[in-house]
Protein backbone atom coordinates (compact mmCIF):
# COMPACT_ATOMS: atom_id res chain seq x y z
CA UNK A 1 0.00 0.00 0.00
CA UNK A 2 1.29 3.44 -0.87
CA UNK A 3 2.61 5.61 1.92
CA UNK A 4 0.25 8.43 0.92
CA UNK A 5 -2.75 6.13 1.20
CA UNK A 6 -1.67 4.97 4.64
CA UNK A 7 -1.38 8.60 5.73
CA UNK A 8 -4.83 9.29 4.34
CA UNK A 9 -6.30 6.35 6.25
CA UNK A 10 -4.60 7.56 9.41
CA UNK A 11 -6.01 11.05 8.85
CA UNK A 12 -9.51 9.67 8.25
CA UNK A 13 -9.32 7.56 11.39
CA UNK A 14 -8.13 10.61 13.30
CA UNK A 15 -10.99 12.66 11.92
CA UNK A 16 -13.46 9.96 12.91
CA UNK A 17 -11.98 9.85 16.40
CA UNK A 18 -12.36 13.61 16.75
CA UNK A 19 -15.97 13.37 15.51
CA UNK A 20 -16.79 10.61 17.99
CA UNK A 21 -15.14 12.44 20.90
CA UNK A 22 -17.05 15.65 20.12
CA UNK A 23 -20.34 13.74 19.97
CA UNK A 24 -19.59 11.97 23.25
CA UNK A 25 -18.58 15.20 24.97
CA UNK A 26 -21.80 16.88 23.86
CA UNK A 27 -23.85 13.86 24.94
CA UNK A 28 -22.23 13.50 28.33
CA UNK A 29 -21.83 17.16 29.15
CA UNK A 30 -24.79 18.82 27.54
CA UNK A 31 -28.45 18.66 28.33
CA UNK A 32 -31.19 17.68 25.95
CA UNK A 33 -34.04 20.11 25.42
CA UNK A 34 -36.27 18.40 27.92
CA UNK A 35 -33.51 17.93 30.43
CA UNK A 36 -32.86 21.50 31.33
CA UNK A 37 -33.27 20.27 34.86
CA UNK A 38 -31.25 21.80 37.64
CA UNK A 39 -29.65 18.42 38.13
CA UNK A 40 -28.94 15.59 35.73
CA UNK A 41 -26.37 13.56 37.61
CA UNK A 42 -26.27 11.91 40.99
CA UNK A 43 -23.47 14.20 42.11
CA UNK A 44 -25.39 17.26 41.04
CA UNK A 45 -28.50 15.92 42.71
CA UNK A 46 -26.58 15.68 45.94
CA UNK A 47 -25.39 19.25 45.53
CA UNK A 48 -28.77 20.79 44.77
CA UNK A 49 -31.86 18.98 45.90
CA UNK A 50 -34.06 21.90 46.72
CA UNK A 51 -36.86 22.51 44.23
CA UNK A 52 -37.60 26.07 43.26
CA UNK A 53 -40.23 27.59 45.46
CA UNK A 54 -43.49 28.52 43.83
CA UNK A 55 -44.16 25.29 41.95
CA UNK A 56 -47.38 25.15 43.93
CA UNK A 57 -48.63 28.26 42.14
CA UNK A 58 -49.69 26.04 39.27
CA UNK A 59 -52.08 24.22 41.57
CA UNK A 60 -53.06 27.11 43.86
CA UNK A 61 -56.81 27.23 44.30
CA UNK A 62 -57.40 24.06 42.29
CA UNK A 63 -59.35 21.37 44.19
CA UNK A 64 -57.09 18.45 45.00
CA UNK A 65 -58.10 15.27 46.76
CA UNK A 66 -55.86 12.24 46.98
CA UNK A 67 -54.63 11.49 43.48
CA UNK A 68 -57.17 13.73 41.78
CA UNK A 69 -56.68 17.32 40.67
CA UNK A 70 -59.68 19.36 39.62
CA UNK A 71 -63.39 19.59 40.16
CA UNK A 72 -65.22 16.35 40.91
CA UNK A 73 -67.96 17.58 38.59
CA UNK A 74 -65.65 17.75 35.57
CA UNK A 75 -67.21 15.80 32.69
CA UNK A 76 -63.92 14.20 31.65
CA UNK A 77 -61.09 12.48 33.51
CA UNK A 78 -57.56 12.46 32.19
CA UNK A 79 -55.52 9.76 33.88
CA UNK A 80 -51.81 10.40 33.64
CA UNK A 81 -49.40 7.46 33.89
CA UNK A 82 -46.00 8.74 34.92
CA UNK A 83 -42.65 7.67 36.32
CA UNK A 84 -40.89 10.31 38.43
CA UNK A 85 -37.57 9.33 36.83
CA UNK A 86 -38.86 9.63 33.25
CA UNK A 87 -37.42 12.68 31.42
CA UNK A 88 -40.45 12.93 29.12
CA UNK A 89 -42.72 12.97 32.17
CA UNK A 90 -40.65 15.82 33.52
CA UNK A 91 -41.04 17.61 30.19
CA UNK A 92 -44.81 17.14 30.40
CA UNK A 93 -44.95 18.27 34.01
CA UNK A 94 -42.74 21.33 33.61
CA UNK A 95 -43.74 22.53 30.15
CA UNK A 96 -47.30 21.40 29.60
CA UNK A 97 -49.04 20.63 32.87
CA UNK A 98 -49.36 24.33 33.82
CA UNK A 99 -51.16 24.99 30.53
CA UNK A 100 -53.43 21.98 30.98
CA UNK A 101 -54.29 23.04 34.53
CA UNK A 102 -54.98 26.61 33.42
CA UNK A 103 -57.05 25.81 30.32
CA UNK A 104 -58.75 22.54 31.19
CA UNK A 105 -58.67 21.88 34.94
CA UNK A 106 -59.39 25.34 36.32
CA UNK A 107 -62.16 25.75 33.77
CA UNK A 108 -63.79 22.54 34.99
CA UNK A 109 -63.50 20.73 31.67
CA UNK A 110 -61.19 17.99 32.92
CA UNK A 111 -59.92 16.54 36.15
CA UNK A 112 -56.55 14.86 36.33
CA UNK A 113 -55.84 11.56 38.04
CA UNK A 114 -52.26 10.58 38.87
CA UNK A 115 -51.11 7.04 38.25
CA UNK A 116 -47.45 6.69 39.10
CA UNK A 117 -45.80 3.53 37.81
CA UNK A 118 -42.29 2.15 37.98
CA UNK A 119 -41.00 1.87 34.44
CA UNK A 120 -37.50 3.36 34.54
CA UNK A 121 -36.21 1.27 37.41
CA UNK A 122 -36.37 0.40 41.10
CA UNK A 123 -35.15 3.86 42.15
CA UNK A 124 -38.57 5.17 41.09
CA UNK A 125 -40.30 3.35 43.94
CA UNK A 126 -39.29 5.63 46.85
CA UNK A 127 -40.42 8.65 44.84
CA UNK A 128 -43.69 6.97 43.91
CA UNK A 129 -44.31 6.04 47.52
CA UNK A 130 -43.65 9.61 48.61
CA UNK A 131 -45.94 10.98 45.91
CA UNK A 132 -48.78 8.63 46.80
CA UNK A 133 -48.21 9.35 50.51
CA UNK A 134 -48.56 13.06 49.74
CA UNK A 135 -52.05 12.26 48.52
CA UNK A 136 -53.14 11.96 52.15
CA UNK A 137 -52.25 15.64 52.52
CA UNK A 138 -53.92 16.48 49.20
CA UNK A 139 -50.51 17.56 47.93
CA UNK A 140 -49.81 14.69 45.56
CA UNK A 141 -49.56 16.81 42.42
CA UNK A 142 -47.43 19.42 44.18
CA UNK A 143 -44.92 16.84 45.42
CA UNK A 144 -44.78 15.07 42.06
CA UNK A 145 -44.08 18.41 40.39
CA UNK A 146 -41.45 19.36 42.99
CA UNK A 147 -39.64 16.07 42.46
CA UNK A 148 -39.52 16.70 38.71
CA UNK A 149 -37.86 20.03 39.49
CA UNK A 150 -34.85 18.15 40.87
CA UNK A 151 -34.97 15.09 38.66
CA UNK A 152 -31.60 13.37 38.39
CA UNK A 153 -30.19 10.73 36.09
CA UNK A 154 -32.15 7.50 35.85
CA UNK A 155 -31.41 4.94 38.56
CA UNK A 156 -28.49 6.98 39.89
CA UNK A 157 -29.90 6.90 43.40
CA UNK A 158 -30.92 10.54 43.31
CA UNK A 159 -34.22 9.89 45.10
CA UNK A 160 -33.12 10.06 48.72
CA UNK A 161 -35.02 10.93 51.89
CA UNK A 162 -33.45 14.40 51.84
CA UNK A 163 -34.60 14.96 48.26
CA UNK A 164 -38.11 13.87 49.20
CA UNK A 165 -38.13 16.10 52.29
CA UNK A 166 -36.94 19.11 50.32
CA UNK A 167 -39.49 18.47 47.59
CA UNK A 168 -42.25 18.12 50.15
CA UNK A 169 -41.16 21.36 51.81
CA UNK A 170 -41.18 23.20 48.47
CA UNK A 171 -44.61 21.73 47.77
CA UNK A 172 -45.98 22.94 51.08
CA UNK A 173 -46.36 19.40 52.41
CA UNK A 174 -45.14 17.68 55.57
CA UNK A 175 -42.04 15.75 54.48
CA UNK A 176 -41.67 13.82 57.73
CA UNK A 177 -45.27 12.61 57.52
CA UNK A 178 -44.75 11.63 53.91
CA UNK A 179 -41.64 9.58 54.72
CA UNK A 180 -43.44 7.97 57.64
CA UNK A 181 -46.39 7.00 55.47
CA UNK A 182 -44.35 5.84 52.47
CA UNK A 183 -43.99 2.18 53.57
CA UNK A 184 -47.64 1.92 54.63
CA UNK A 185 -50.07 -0.66 53.28
CA UNK A 186 -52.25 2.12 51.92
CA UNK A 187 -49.41 3.48 49.80
CA UNK A 188 -48.45 -0.02 48.67
CA UNK A 189 -52.05 -0.62 47.66
CA UNK A 190 -52.04 2.60 45.64
CA UNK A 191 -48.84 1.52 43.88
CA UNK A 192 -50.26 -1.90 43.07
CA UNK A 193 -53.53 -0.38 41.86
CA UNK A 194 -51.67 2.03 39.59
CA UNK A 195 -49.74 -0.88 38.12
CA UNK A 196 -52.95 -2.80 37.46
CA UNK A 197 -54.52 0.27 35.88
CA UNK A 198 -51.47 0.59 33.63
CA UNK A 199 -51.86 -3.01 32.49
CA UNK A 200 -55.58 -2.52 31.89
CA UNK A 201 -54.91 0.64 29.90
CA UNK A 202 -52.18 -1.13 27.92
CA UNK A 203 -49.62 1.45 28.93
CA UNK A 204 -46.36 0.81 27.12
CA UNK A 205 -44.44 3.89 28.17
CA UNK A 206 -44.60 7.07 30.14
CA UNK A 207 -46.17 9.49 30.07
CA UNK A 208 -49.37 7.93 28.82
CA UNK A 209 -52.68 9.74 28.97
CA UNK A 210 -56.05 8.00 29.16
CA UNK A 211 -59.16 10.09 28.67
CA UNK A 212 -62.53 9.01 29.95
CA UNK A 213 -65.86 10.70 29.39
CA UNK A 214 -68.58 8.62 30.97
CA UNK A 215 -70.24 6.51 29.76
CA UNK A 216 -67.65 6.12 27.00
CA UNK A 217 -64.88 3.58 27.35
CA UNK A 218 -61.52 5.11 28.39
CA UNK A 219 -59.25 5.78 25.44
CA UNK A 220 -55.56 6.56 25.26
CA UNK A 221 -55.01 10.12 24.11
CA UNK A 222 -53.17 10.02 20.76
CA UNK A 223 -50.39 12.36 21.82
CA UNK A 224 -47.86 13.19 19.11
CA UNK A 225 -46.00 15.89 20.98
CA UNK A 226 -45.66 17.01 24.57
CA UNK A 227 -45.37 20.70 23.79
CA UNK A 228 -48.20 22.71 25.37
CA UNK A 229 -49.87 23.89 22.17
CA UNK A 230 -49.94 20.53 20.42
CA UNK A 231 -51.01 18.71 23.57
CA UNK A 232 -53.81 21.20 24.20
CA UNK A 233 -54.99 20.87 20.62
CA UNK A 234 -55.04 17.08 20.92
CA UNK A 235 -56.90 17.20 24.22
CA UNK A 236 -59.41 19.74 22.89
CA UNK A 237 -60.11 17.56 19.87
CA UNK A 238 -60.63 14.51 22.06
CA UNK A 239 -63.08 16.43 24.22
CA UNK A 240 -65.23 17.43 21.25
CA UNK B 1 -20.42 0.62 -8.86
CA UNK B 2 -17.67 -1.55 -7.37
CA UNK B 3 -18.61 -4.38 -4.99
CA UNK B 4 -17.08 -2.62 -2.00
CA UNK B 5 -19.03 0.59 -2.69
CA UNK B 6 -22.19 -1.47 -3.13
CA UNK B 7 -21.53 -3.14 0.21
CA UNK B 8 -21.07 0.23 1.92
CA UNK B 9 -24.30 1.42 0.31
CA UNK B 10 -26.13 -1.70 1.52
CA UNK B 11 -25.05 -1.14 5.12
CA UNK B 12 -26.02 2.54 4.87
CA UNK B 13 -29.48 1.57 3.66
CA UNK B 14 -29.86 -1.01 6.43
CA UNK B 15 -28.82 1.54 9.02
CA UNK B 16 -31.12 4.15 7.54
CA UNK B 17 -34.07 1.75 7.81
CA UNK B 18 -33.37 1.23 11.53
CA UNK B 19 -32.84 4.95 12.13
CA UNK B 20 -36.04 5.81 10.25
CA UNK B 21 -38.06 3.42 12.40
CA UNK B 22 -36.60 4.80 15.62
CA UNK B 23 -37.19 8.36 14.39
CA UNK B 24 -40.81 7.47 13.73
CA UNK B 25 -41.30 5.95 17.19
CA UNK B 26 -39.68 9.00 18.76
CA UNK B 27 -41.92 11.56 17.08
CA UNK B 28 -45.04 9.40 17.13
CA UNK B 29 -44.41 8.88 20.82
CA UNK B 30 -45.00 5.16 20.53
CA UNK B 31 -43.03 2.28 21.98
CA UNK B 32 -40.81 0.46 19.48
CA UNK B 33 -41.45 -3.20 18.86
CA UNK B 34 -39.16 -4.76 21.38
CA UNK B 35 -38.26 -8.26 22.52
CA UNK B 36 -35.35 -7.22 24.72
CA UNK B 37 -37.68 -5.36 27.07
CA UNK B 38 -35.43 -2.34 27.36
CA UNK B 39 -36.28 -0.26 24.28
CA UNK B 40 -38.78 1.92 26.10
CA UNK B 41 -36.34 2.62 28.89
CA UNK B 42 -33.56 3.50 26.47
CA UNK B 43 -35.89 5.60 24.34
CA UNK B 44 -36.90 7.63 27.38
CA UNK B 45 -33.40 8.06 28.72
CA UNK B 46 -31.35 11.24 28.47
CA UNK B 47 -29.09 9.47 25.97
CA UNK B 48 -31.89 9.35 23.39
CA UNK B 49 -31.19 12.94 22.43
CA UNK B 50 -28.06 14.90 21.67
CA UNK B 51 -28.31 18.64 22.23
CA UNK B 52 -32.07 18.36 21.83
CA UNK B 53 -31.87 16.35 18.61
CA UNK B 54 -33.03 12.72 18.72
CA UNK B 55 -30.06 10.40 18.25
CA UNK B 56 -32.13 8.47 15.71
CA UNK B 57 -32.36 11.59 13.55
CA UNK B 58 -28.60 12.07 13.72
CA UNK B 59 -28.15 8.44 12.75
CA UNK B 60 -30.49 8.86 9.79
CA UNK B 61 -28.54 11.90 8.60
CA UNK B 62 -25.25 10.01 9.00
CA UNK B 63 -26.48 6.99 7.05
CA UNK B 64 -27.80 9.20 4.25
CA UNK B 65 -24.42 10.94 4.09
CA UNK B 66 -22.66 7.56 4.05
CA UNK B 67 -24.90 6.42 1.21
CA UNK B 68 -24.04 9.59 -0.70
CA UNK B 69 -20.32 8.82 -0.37
CA UNK B 70 -20.95 5.31 -1.72
CA UNK B 71 -22.51 6.76 -4.86
CA UNK B 72 -19.41 8.81 -5.58
CA UNK B 73 -16.17 7.25 -6.65
CA UNK B 74 -12.79 8.54 -5.61
CA UNK B 75 -10.54 8.85 -2.59
CA UNK B 76 -12.26 11.96 -1.22
CA UNK B 77 -15.63 10.24 -0.99
CA UNK B 78 -14.00 7.15 0.50
CA UNK B 79 -12.26 9.28 3.14
CA UNK B 80 -15.52 11.02 4.02
CA UNK B 81 -17.14 7.60 4.32
CA UNK B 82 -14.52 6.48 6.85
CA UNK B 83 -14.93 9.63 8.94
CA UNK B 84 -18.72 9.24 9.01
CA UNK B 85 -18.87 5.48 9.59
CA UNK B 86 -15.98 5.23 12.03
CA UNK B 87 -17.10 8.34 13.92
CA UNK B 88 -20.59 6.90 14.08
CA UNK B 89 -19.22 3.58 15.30
CA UNK B 90 -17.33 5.35 18.07
CA UNK B 91 -20.43 7.20 19.21
CA UNK B 92 -22.47 4.01 18.98
CA UNK B 93 -19.94 2.32 21.25
CA UNK B 94 -20.51 5.11 23.78
CA UNK B 95 -24.27 4.59 23.56
CA UNK B 96 -23.79 0.84 24.04
CA UNK B 97 -21.78 1.64 27.17
CA UNK B 98 -24.64 3.88 28.34
CA UNK B 99 -27.12 1.04 27.86
CA UNK B 100 -25.01 -1.44 29.77
CA UNK B 101 -24.14 1.10 32.48
CA UNK B 102 -26.20 4.15 33.46
CA UNK B 103 -29.42 3.13 31.70
CA UNK B 104 -29.24 -0.51 32.68
CA UNK B 105 -31.27 -1.72 29.71
CA UNK B 106 -30.59 -2.94 26.20
CA UNK B 107 -32.52 -1.82 23.13
CA UNK B 108 -32.40 -4.40 20.37
CA UNK B 109 -32.70 -1.72 17.69
CA UNK B 110 -29.69 0.08 19.08
CA UNK B 111 -27.67 -3.14 19.14
CA UNK B 112 -28.71 -3.86 15.55
CA UNK B 113 -27.54 -0.38 14.65
CA UNK B 114 -24.23 -1.01 16.45
CA UNK B 115 -23.64 -4.09 14.31
CA UNK B 116 -24.55 -2.27 11.09
CA UNK B 117 -22.36 0.77 11.81
CA UNK B 118 -19.43 -1.47 12.81
CA UNK B 119 -19.70 -3.34 9.51
CA UNK B 120 -20.06 -0.05 7.64
CA UNK B 121 -16.91 1.29 9.33
CA UNK B 122 -14.95 -1.82 8.41
CA UNK B 123 -16.13 -1.75 4.80
CA UNK B 124 -15.40 1.97 4.55
CA UNK B 125 -11.83 1.37 5.70
CA UNK B 126 -11.41 -1.41 3.14
CA UNK B 127 -12.83 0.87 0.49
CA UNK B 128 -10.43 3.69 1.34
CA UNK B 129 -7.51 1.26 1.24
CA UNK B 130 -8.47 -0.09 -2.18
CA UNK B 131 -10.12 2.89 -3.88
CA UNK B 132 -8.31 3.80 -7.10
CA UNK B 133 -6.63 7.20 -6.97
Q: How confident is the model at residue A81 (pLDDT cuts 50, 70, 90)?
A: very high
- Which chain A residue has the Cα nearest residue B32? A204
Q: Which carries the bigger pLDDT value, residue A140 or residue A226?
A: A140
- Which chain A residue has the Cα nearest residue B132? A5
Summarize pLDDT for A12-58 with one digit per residue, the tens: 999 999 999 999 888 876 433 333 322 222 333 333 344 444 444 78
The rounded distance, in Å, linking the Cα atoms of A85 and B20 is 27
Q: How confident is the model at residue A70 (pLDDT cuts 50, 70, 90)?
A: very high
Residue A36 CB coordination number (10 Å): 13
Enter the pTM of the model: 0.57
- B100 at A interface, C-beta within 8 A: no
pLDDT of residue A3: 80
- A202 at B interface, C-beta within 8 A: no
Asked which of A49-63, A69-83, A108-122, B101-115 is least confident by mean pLDDT, the reply is A49-63
- The minimal CB distance from B82 to the residues A16, A88, A226 is found for A16
pLDDT of residue B29: 66
Q: What is the mean pLDDT of chain A?
A: 85
**Alpha helix positions (H), chain A:** 3-29, 42-47, 87-91, 97-100, 124-134, 140-149, 161-170, 175-181, 185-200, 228-239
- A223 at B interface, C-beta within 8 A: yes
Summarize pLDDT for A183-192 with one digit per residue, the tens: 999 999 999 9
Distances (CA, A) of A154 to A158, A194, A204, A225, B72: 8, 21, 18, 22, 43
The neighbouring-strand residues paired with A211 are A78, A219
**Overall average pLDDT of the B106-132 stretch:** 93
pLDDT of residue A134: 96
Q: Do A223 and B29 touch (CB under 8 A)?
A: yes
- B49 at A interface, C-beta within 8 A: yes
Amino acid sequence: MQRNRLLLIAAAVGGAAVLAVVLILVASGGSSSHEAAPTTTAAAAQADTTPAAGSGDVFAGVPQKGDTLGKASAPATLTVFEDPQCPYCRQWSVDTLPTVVRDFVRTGKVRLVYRGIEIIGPNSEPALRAIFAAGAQNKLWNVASALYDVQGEENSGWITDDVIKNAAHAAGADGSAILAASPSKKVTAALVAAGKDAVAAQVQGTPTFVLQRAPAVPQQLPVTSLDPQTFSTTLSAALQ
Amino acid sequence: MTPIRAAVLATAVAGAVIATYLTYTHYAHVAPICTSGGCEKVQHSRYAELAGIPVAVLGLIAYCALAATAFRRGVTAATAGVVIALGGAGFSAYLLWAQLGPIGAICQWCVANDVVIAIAALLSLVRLATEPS
